[in-house]
Amino acid sequence: MATNPLSARVNTQGAVDLGALAAARENQAKAERALANAPEGVVRVVTMANFEADVVNLSMTVPVVVNLHSDRSPASAQLTPVLEQLAAEFRGQFVLALVNVDTDAQIAQAFQVQAIPTVIAVLKGQPVPLFEGAQPEPQIREVLAEVLRVAAENGITGAPEGEQPAGEELAEEPIDPRFEAAYDAIEAGDWAAAEQAYRTVLDASPADVDAQAGLAMVGLYLRTDGKHVPAAPESVDDLMLASDFAALEGDWPSSFALLVECVRRTSGDERDAARARLIELFLVAGDDPAVAPARTALASALY
């Protein structure tokens, strides 16, 4: 896969790979399809309340892979759907435990986590560090295969209660070629081609939410291409650009707050532009928990 040339430029500024948002959305779509047909319980949200039952105790009979992630981490947004898809494919040969370190910092401290995301296997109550950061799917498969081998050597070959592991892999539904064209264009940094690909989908299906979000995401790339984060944003233009860069980092609360401030301090066409930008970013953020309070803040700023 070719390296995104724009990503290289932005990385030198300390920002994330601009292809991260597109990869995360594609990975999430694959994970959702896989999980729809997966046995119940192969992916579990773990907090301090159920940590002992769903990690420590469960690891006595089935390998538990703990993904310590954060809603504010773009790498987590890329990695978590890949792990969910693989948990669905392996159908109970291991259980994926999702720990949000933003809300359960005690668990991260117990594992002595130094980076987010961090992935750790737990076998018979013993943690086994696996890797940090987003990793390519083939590499993750190799790591999981080794986890299962070590688990089998230690007699950990069960499955969650009421489930039986299956050897067959789920057939992956083909991706719409129109979206595939958009993904390829984004990977190549060809924003015009990506925009055209999404508009082709919307011409046929104007209500397609994924295409709407994809088009908004391409707009985000275009607005930040070759630019830098404003050091001390004061003008409306600088505030809106700072909001875009916060969005690229996955810092949705900051991104939305900057645009709400723009709405508050402007009127007429400027206010309409700030409001429209915020609505676009809501599409890109999807079901991020920062969206709901930002919608309320927007309504307050408008009225």
Which phi and psi angles does 164 have, rounded to 5°?
-125, 130
Q: Which pLDDT does position 159 carry in this prediction?
A: 61
Q: Which pLDDT does position 189 carry in this prediction?
A: 86
- pTM of the model as a whole: 0.48
**Contact assessment for residue 225 and residue 258, using Cβ atoms and an 8 Å cutoff:** no
Instruction: Give 229-234's long-range contacts (Cβ < 8 A, gap of 24+).
Output: 229/13, 229/15, 233/258
Q: Which pLDDT does position 89 carry in this prediction?
A: 86
Residue 171's CB is within 10 A of a number of other CB atoms, namely: 9
Q: Which pLDDT does position 124 carry in this prediction?
A: 92
Which phi and psi angles does 190 have, rounded to 5°?
-95, 85
CATH classification for the domain delimited by 38-153, as one of 3.40.50.150, 2.40.50.140, 3.40.30.10, 3.30.60.50: 3.40.30.10
The answer for residues whose C-beta is within 8 angstroms of residue 223's C-beta and 6 or more apart is: 241, 244
The answer for residues whose C-beta is within 8 angstroms of residue 45's C-beta and 6 or more apart is: 98, 100
Spatial CA neighbour of 255 closest among 245, 267, 264: 245
Q: Which pLDDT does position 5 carry in this prediction?
A: 29
Q: Which amino acid is at 223?
A: R
Q: Which pLDDT does position 39 carry in this prediction?
A: 63
Residue numbers in the chain where pLDDT is lower than 50 = 1-18, 31, 34-35, 162, 164-172
Domain positions in the chain: 38-153, 177-302
Residue bearing tokens 């004061």: 234
